[in-house]
């Protein structure tokens, strides 16, 4: 077990009568990518901002890189990079000027060219911020978070508003950071993002952690989903449920149940249109935990 | 790097950003010059009779008001706007997440505004001397410099203080203008009210603007004998500045207000 970058015990935060964070524990190992997931209003931003030192907590213990972020001393600030959800920069400066300005705040900054390269803005380095697209500005946000060569990087919804290509690029960038040994604390709405990037995820529901662990472990033990369509008027086989304009079988023993299904179809001469077999994804786990009809997200 | 060196670096980047927006830069400088031209067009530049039977050209007579306007504009108005827009846009919050000390950031902002303000005053006096025969202070020059520095510091602090009551960037121009325009009218900046009623005199003496006009005036007036340093007025401006600094230190917000 590698050393702990972030350790949280019994964290609570109240705003007046409203308790937004209701006692959570978290451990993030050094050099890992950790994703905090949850619906809007679940308390993600509150938790991240407590870890970043922007907000005070109501109760609990928090240790980030061995410091209490509540004190937010210069030593802590030097080792932590923060990419907030929405932030402004001086629109009339160029990409490299801004990164250079932020590099100047740190004793041991990451080289300018390397920082620009990491976020893929090399072609835009002499463009003013005003002229960048939304996705490019977001990459600049990340570059400013990386300028100080941090050991720990907070990324609050880094790919919101990205087109699919830009998201893939951003994912590659985060993987590169991981290669460099940077610990990444990520919040996101996108389940595929967490599944693809995170070593460990925590799903936050209504101020509590409903599930925590590596994505593969969270999804293991879940049923495999067999999905197919039938010609109109064909009565479905037993054990299947209607899902939109198709049918689904939630299988505990997928090999046997798939065999039964295809045998059933072959016997009747029915074609199983758009037949898919998929393992439960993080999204299934997430929806199960957060959708009100399943008892989550009260 | 020390906090002071970091503040100097801030000044450099503030300056870079300022000149990258030529329209804003142009109007910042055009503003006091416009008043110089308008006042002279409206009232002529005839010598006017002042106390003791002396005369002074109208341009010399009004330049203290324009200088006051310049300083209040670059320090108070400009700082308040920049801080509120930076706060709403998330720039302040971002900076707060770096090791840059808060005071280095604030000092950098104030220092840049002060440099602009002083440059503006120099240009205004130079233009006044060149085109309208303004008498440039000589023996009273040190007093003028001291006055400008005290005023710059005081109005900067007040600019920071007013941000604590501005809820958002949309409200900033209205609140800043509301807080300062009436005082310009009452305090001999836009119009000169000689022999005001006692209540009006009482009110305007409570605020720093008229004291600033007076302190600057001392440097330009032919009636001034001696250094021209008006310590009483300067102390009054400084007192307001200290009050502003205390309010700013207590209530300043680095994040948008909800």
pLDDT above 50 (res A191): yes
* B20 closest CB neighbour out of A92, A102, A144: A92
| Structure confidence at residue B44 (pLDDT) | 81
How many angstroms away from the CA of B124 is the closest CA of chain A? Answer: 27
Chain B residue numbers with beta carbons less than 8 Å from the beta carbon of A86 are: 90
- Residues in B touching A148 (Cβ below 8 Å): 98-99
The pLDDT tens digits for B164-196 are 999 999 999 999 999 999 999 999 888 888 888
- In percent, the amount of chain A with pLDDT more than 90 equals 47
Chosen for mutation from B6, B97, B109, B254 (greatest number of chain A CBs closer than 10 Å) is B97
- Residue A295 pLDDT: 42
The candidate with the shortest Cα–Cα distance to A126, out of A99, A147, A146, A97, is A97
Q: Which helix (H) or strand (E) holds A234?
A: none
pLDDT at A297 over 80: no
B88 contacts on A by Cβ (under 8 Å): 88
Residues of B in contact with A54 (CB under 8 A): 93, 96-97, 255
Residue A124 has pLDDT above 90, yes or no: yes
Of A78, A87, A97, the CB nearest to B90: A87
> How far does the CA of residue A64 sit from the closest CA of chain B (Å)?
14
B142's CB contacts (< 8 A; 6+ apart) are: B227, B229
What is the least distance, in Å, from the CA of B97 to any CA of chain A? 7
Cα–Cα distance measured from residue B154 to residue B148, given in angstroms and rounded to the nearest whole number: 10
Segment A51-57 shows an average pLDDT of: 93
Question: How far apart are alpha carbons B173 and A154 in whole angstroms?
Answer: 35
**Under 8 Å between Cβ of A257 and A228:** no
B94 contacts A106? CB cut-off 8 A: no
> Cβ contact (<8 Å) for B91 and A102?
no
Q: How many CB pairs under 8 A join A and B?
A: 64
What is residue A292's predicted lDDT score, i.e. its pLDDT? 61
CB contact under 8 A, B13 and A93: yes
3-class SS of residue A229: strand
Contacts of A87 in chain B (CB under 8 A): 89-91, 93-94
A220 falls in which pLDDT band (50, 70, 90)? confident
Model confidence at A296, in pLDDT bands (50, 70, 90)?
very low
Characterize A244-259 residue by residue with b for buried, 16 or more Cβ atoms within 10 angstroms of its Cβ, and e for exposed. eebbbbbbeebeebbe
- Please report the pLDDT score of residue B228 as a whole number: 86
Tell me if A73 sits within 8 A of A67, measured CB to CB.
Answer: yes
Chain A nearest C-alpha distance from B94 (Å): 7
Confidence of residue A283 (pLDDT cuts 50, 70, 90): confident
CA distance B207 to B212: 10
* Cβ count within 10 A of residue A7: 14
Structural contact between residues A284 and A191, judged by C-beta atoms closer than 8 angstroms = no
- CA nearest to B11 within chain A: A101
CA dihedral B173, B177, B180, B186 (to 10 degrees): 170
Q: Can you tell me the distance from the alpha carbon of B56 to that of B78, in angstroms, rounded to the nearest whole number?
A: 32
> Which chain B residue has the Cα nearest residue A77?
B99
Asked if the model's pLDDT at residue A95 lies above 90, the reply is yes
Instruction: For residue A105, list chain B residues with Cβ-Cβ distance below 8 A.
Output: 6, 98-100
Q: Report the residue from A77, A88, A93 with minimal CB separation from B98.
A: A77
Over range A83-99, report the average pLDDT. Answer: 89
- Rounded to the nearest angstrom, the minimum Cα separation between A243 and chain B is 43
Ordered per-residue pLDDT tens for chain B, 258 residues = 688 999 999 999 999 999 998 888 888 889 889 988 988 888 888 888 777 777 888 888 889 999 999 999 999 999 999 999 999 999 999 999 999 999 999 999 999 999 999 999 999 999 999 998 888 888 999 999 999 999 999 999 999 999 999 999 999 999 999 999 999 999 988 888 888 899 999 999 999 999 999 999 999 988 888 888 899 999 999 999 999 999 999 999 999 886
Q: What residues of A are in contact with residue B96 (Cβ under 8 Å)?
A: 54
- Indicate the pTM of the whole model: 0.85
How many helices (H) and strands (E) chain A has is answered by 10, 13
Q: Which residue of A has its CA nearest to B253?
A: A54
Contact A142, A173 (CB under 8 A): yes
Q: Which residue of A has its CA nearest to B255?
A: A54
Question: CA-CA distance, B88 to B168, in Å (whole number)?
Answer: 7
pLDDT, tens digit (0-9, with 9 covering 90-100), for B4-13: 999 999 999 9
A45-49, A137-141, A198-202, A214-218: which has the minimum mean pLDDT?
A: A214-218
> Left (φ > 0), alpha (ψ -120 to 50) or beta: where does A56 sit?
beta
- Over residues A177-194, the mean pLDDT reads 90
For A52, the closest of B16, B86, B97 (CB atoms) is B97
Assess: ipTM above 0.90: no
* Contact call for A88 and B94, based on CB within 8 A: yes
């Amino acid at each position: 077990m590698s050393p702990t970058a972030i350790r949280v015990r019994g964290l609570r935060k109240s705003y007046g009568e409203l308790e937004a964070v209701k006692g959570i524990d978290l451990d993030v190992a050094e050099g890992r990518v950790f994703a905090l997931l949850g619906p809007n209003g679940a308390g993600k931003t509150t938790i991240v901002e407590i870890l970043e030192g922007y907000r005070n907590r109501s109760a609990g213990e928090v240790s980030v890189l061995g410091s209490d972020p509540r004190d937010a001393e210069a030593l802590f600030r030097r080792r932590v990079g923060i990419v907030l959800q929405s932030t402004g920069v001086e629109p009339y400066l160029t990409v490299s000027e801004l990164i250079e300005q932020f590099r100047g705040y740190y004793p041991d900054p990451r080289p300018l060219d390397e920082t620009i390269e990491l976020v893929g803005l090399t072609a835009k380095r002499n463009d003013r911020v005003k002229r960048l697209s939304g996705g490019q500005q977001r990459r600049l946000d990340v570059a400013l978070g990386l300028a100080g060569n941090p050991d720990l990087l907070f990324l609050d919804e880094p790919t919101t508003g990205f087109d699919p290509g830009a998201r893939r690029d951003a994912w590659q960038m985060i993987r590169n950071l991981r290669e460099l040994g940077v610990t990444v604390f990520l919040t996101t709405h996108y389940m595929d993002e967490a599944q693809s990037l995170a070593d460990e995820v925590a799903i936050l529901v209504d101020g509590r952690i409903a599930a925590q662990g590596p994505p593969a472990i969270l999804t293991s033990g879940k049923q495999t989903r067999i999905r197919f369509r039938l010609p109109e008027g064909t009565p479905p086989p037993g054990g299947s449920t209607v899902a939109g304009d198709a049918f689904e079988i939630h299988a505990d023993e997928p090999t046997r149940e798939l065999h039964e299904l295809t045998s059933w179809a072959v016997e009747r001469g029915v074609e199983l249109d758009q037949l898919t077999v998929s393992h439960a994804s993080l999204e299934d786990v997430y929806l199960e935990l957060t959708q009100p009809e399943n008892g989550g997200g009260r | 790097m020390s906090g002071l060196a970091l503040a100097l670096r801030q000044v450099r980047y503030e300056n870079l950003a300022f000149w990258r927006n030529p329209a804003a830069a142009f109007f910042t400088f055009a503003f006091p010059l416009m008043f110089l031209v308008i006042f002279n067009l409206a009232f002529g530049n005839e010598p006017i009779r002042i106390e003791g039977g002396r005369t002074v050209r109208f341009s010399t007579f009004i330049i203290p008001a324009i200088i006051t306007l310049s300083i209040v504009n670059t320090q108070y108005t400009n700082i308040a706007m920049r801080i509120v827009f930076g706060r709403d846009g998330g720039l302040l919050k971002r900076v707060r997440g770096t090791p840059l000390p808060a005071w280095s950031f604030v000092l950098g902002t104030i220092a840049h505004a002060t440099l602009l303000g002083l440059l503006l005053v120099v240009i205004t006096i130079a233009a006044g001397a060149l085109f309208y025969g303004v008498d440039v202070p000589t023996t009273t020059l040190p007093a003028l410099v001291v006055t400008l520095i005290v005023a710059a510091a005081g109005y900067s602090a007040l600019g920071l203080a007013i941000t604590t009551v501005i809820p958002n960037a949309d409200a900033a121009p209205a609140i800043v203008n509301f807080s300062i325009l009436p005082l310009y009218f009452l305090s001999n900046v836009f119009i000169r009210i000689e022999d005001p009623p006692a209540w009006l005199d009482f009110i305007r003496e409570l605020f720093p603007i008229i004291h600033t006009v007076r302190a600057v005036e001392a440097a330009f007036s032919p009636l001034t004998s001696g250094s021209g340093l008006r310590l009483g007025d300067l102390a009054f401006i400084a007192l307001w500045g200290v009050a502003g600094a205390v309010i700013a230190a207590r209530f300043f917000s680095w994040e948008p207000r909800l």
